[in-house]
Amino acid sequence: SQQGEEDPQALSIQEGENATMNCSYKTSINNLQWYRQNSGRGLVHLILIRSNEREKHSGRLRVTLDTSKKSSSLLITASRAADTASYFCATDINAGGTSYGKLTFGQGTILTVHP
């Protein structure tokens, strides 16, 4: 079974609006990552946040992490039509402090940005 649960499953917005996606997970993690996937393509790494970090920014992306609630959110500001894609959170599970390497993905949020 997959560790992450993402919400919403689908999100439809207008260009220029902000998009927020949420991810919840079950076990202790080393880090949490967000990936984007365009239809039928491979995944592209967006941002990584470590378990001891609470917020991280990268361009128009803002990620928060609340380890007490085992949840994370991804905010895309000033969205563009090119942001249309599926977005996945992935957790790197804590195995005694070291990174196992393998990622456990959520089911993803399908984001559609209308021009």
Partner 1 sequence: DTGVSQDPRHKITKRGQNVTFRCDPISEHNRLYWYRQTLGQGPEFLTYFQNEAQLEKSRLLSDRFSAERPKGSFSTLEIQRTEQGDSAMYLCASSLRSFFANEQFFGPGTRLTVL
Q: Is 108 left (phi over 0), alpha (psi -120 to 50) or beta?
A: left
Instruction: For strands 10-14 and 109-114, give the pairing.
Output: parallel
Identity of the residue, 41 or 114, whose beta carbon is nearer to partner 1 in the bound complex: 41
CB of 62 closer than 8 Å to CB of 55: yes
Q: Which is nearer to partner 1, 44 or 82 (CB)?
A: 44
Does the footprint of partner 1 cover residue 80 (CB under 8 A)? no
Closest CB to partner 1 among residues 15, 61: 61
Return the residue of 13, 15, 24, 43 that touches partner 1, per CB under 8 A. Answer: 43
Q: What φ, ψ does residue 82 adopt, rounded to 5°?
A: -70, -10
> In the bound complex, what is the minimum distance in angstroms from residue 2's beta carbon to partner 1?
6
As measured in angstroms, the least distance from the Cβ of 30 to partner 1 is 8
d(CA 66, CA 70): 6
76 or 103: CB nearest partner 1: 103
Q: What are phi and psi of 40, to 5 degrees?
A: 70, 15
- Residue 23 touching partner 1 (CB under 8 A): no
Decide: is 29 part of the binding site for partner 1 (CB under 8 A).
no
